[in-house]
């Protein structure tokens, strides 16, 4: 299927690994010109052929600088993907609400929510000009906030609400805004030896490999496996496409059937 994206310009945040890296690869494969922002530019990101920008999106001026460089390099902007996020650091993430400090709340909201606010603010004047698209990568944790660190899931809930608000305000200006909410994905958040999955396994007194093997069943994923980053990326690419021209203001869950509500 031709997604009609060839030659269009995109900025992707949090692009160095996992879902972000998969999104960059998918968009480049569709013929898009992509500026990929990440704090660390990895060899895997360079290999995609995207233009890589090293930027700390948790700083107040980082998001605007990324968008400005993207627009300057690409000559405009047709798509913004707000993918940057955090919640994959293991230590101190499994003790419950009373264990989180003000600094941890601040850090979670800065990276998972404010980075998207700032990047969107910089990008939307360009997206209205091109009648483009914006996709936020949230989490099913926004719908089931007990299923993860409360700082992370609450920030993602704010991000999901933010996407709804932008879709309503900027739809009349020709900009489509959608949210993608993955369940557990095979990324460092679960698989890294110092990530959230490893810390959760330690708190439960089991090996990390055992946790990952049992996680799909425990989460109610009827597919019996974790989500692949490329599957999330394919959904993002479709939502960026003119083929999804009447799809806006929606939150698209991709979690192997784990979310049971209508």
CATH number at residue 165: 3.40.50.720
Label the pairing between strands 33-38 and 9-13.
Answer: parallel
Please indicate, yes or no, if residue 83 is contained in any of the structural domains: yes
Please indicate, yes or no, if residue 241 is contained in any of the structural domains: yes
Q: Is 81 helix (H, G, I), strand (E, B) or coil?
A: strand
Name the active-site residue from 21, 66, 123, 152: 152
How do residues 140-150 score in pLDDT, each as one tens digit? 999 998 878 99
Say if CB 128 and CB 175 are below 8 A apart.
yes
Q: What is the pTM of this model?
A: 0.95
CA-CA distance, 171 to 168, in Å (whole number)?
Answer: 6
* Phi–psi pair at 222, nearest 5 degrees: -70, -15
Number of domains in the chain: 1
Number of other CB atoms surrounding residue 133 within 10 Å: 27
Please indicate, yes or no, if residue 217 is contained in any of the structural domains: no
Please indicate, yes or no, if residue 181 is contained in any of the structural domains: yes
- Burial level of 72, CB count in 10 A (0-12/13-18/19+)? exposed
DSSP codes joined into one string, 191-252 = HSTTSHHHHHHHHHTS-HHHHHHHHHHHTT-TTSSPBPHHHHHHHHHHHHSGGGTT--S-EE
Question: Residues in the chain, how many?
Answer: 262
Please indicate, yes or no, if residue 24 is contained in any of the structural domains: yes
Say if CB 109 and CB 161 are below 8 A apart.
no
Please indicate, yes or no, if residue 261 is contained in any of the structural domains: no
CA-CA distance, 254 to 252, in Å (whole number)?
Answer: 7
Please indicate, yes or no, if residue 212 is contained in any of the structural domains: no
Domain range for 126: 9-188+228-253
Ordered per-residue pLDDT tens for the chain, 262 residues: 899 999 999 999 999 999 999 999 999 999 999 999 999 999 999 999 999 999 999 999 999 999 999 999 999 999 999 999 986 566 678 888 999 999 999 999 999 999 999 999 999 999 999 999 999 999 999 999 887 899 999 999 999 999 999 999 999 999 999 999 999 999 988 998 988 889 889 989 999 999 999 999 999 999 999 999 999 999 999 999 999 999 999 999 999 999 998 8
> For 200, what's the count of Cα atoms within 13 Å in the CB-facing half-sphere?
19
Give Cα 22 to chain centroid, integer Å: 11
Label the pairing between strands 79-82 and 176-182.
Answer: unpaired
Indicate if 196 belongs to the active site: no
Residues contacting 246, CB < 8 A, separation 6+: none
């Amino acid at each position: 299927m031709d997604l009609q994206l060839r030659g269009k310009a995109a900025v992707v945040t949090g692009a160095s690994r996992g879902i972000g890296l998969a999104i960059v690869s998918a968009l480049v494969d569709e013929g898009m010109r992509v500026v990929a922002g990440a704090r660390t530019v990895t060899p895997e990101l360079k290999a995609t052929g995207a233009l890589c920008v090293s930027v700390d999106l948790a700083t107040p001026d980082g998001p605007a600088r990324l968008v400005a460089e993207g627009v300057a390099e690409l000559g405009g902007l047709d798509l913004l993907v707000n993918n940057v996020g955090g919640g994959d650091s293991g230590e101190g993430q499994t003790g419950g609400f009373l264990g989180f400090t003000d600094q941890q709340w601040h850090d979670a909201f800065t990276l998972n929510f404010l980075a998207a606010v700032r990047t969107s603010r910089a990008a939307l004047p360009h997206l209205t000009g091109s009648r483009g698209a914006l996709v936020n990568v949230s989490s099913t944790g926004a719908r089931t906030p007990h299923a993860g660190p409360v700082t992370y899931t609450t920030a993602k809930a704010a991000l999901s609400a933010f996407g709804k608000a932008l879709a309503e305000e900027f739809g009349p200006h020709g900009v489509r805004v959608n949210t993608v909410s993955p369940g557990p994905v095979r990324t460092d958040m679960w698989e890294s030896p110092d990530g959230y999955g490893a810390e959760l396994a330690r708190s439960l007194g089991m090996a990390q490999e055992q946790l990952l093997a049992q996680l799909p069943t425990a989460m109610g994923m009827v597919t019996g496996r974790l989500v692949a980053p490329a599957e999330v990326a394919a959904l993002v690419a479709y939502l960026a496409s003119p083929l999804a021209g009447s799809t806006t203001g929606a939150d698209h869950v991709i979690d192997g059937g784990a979310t049971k509500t209508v």
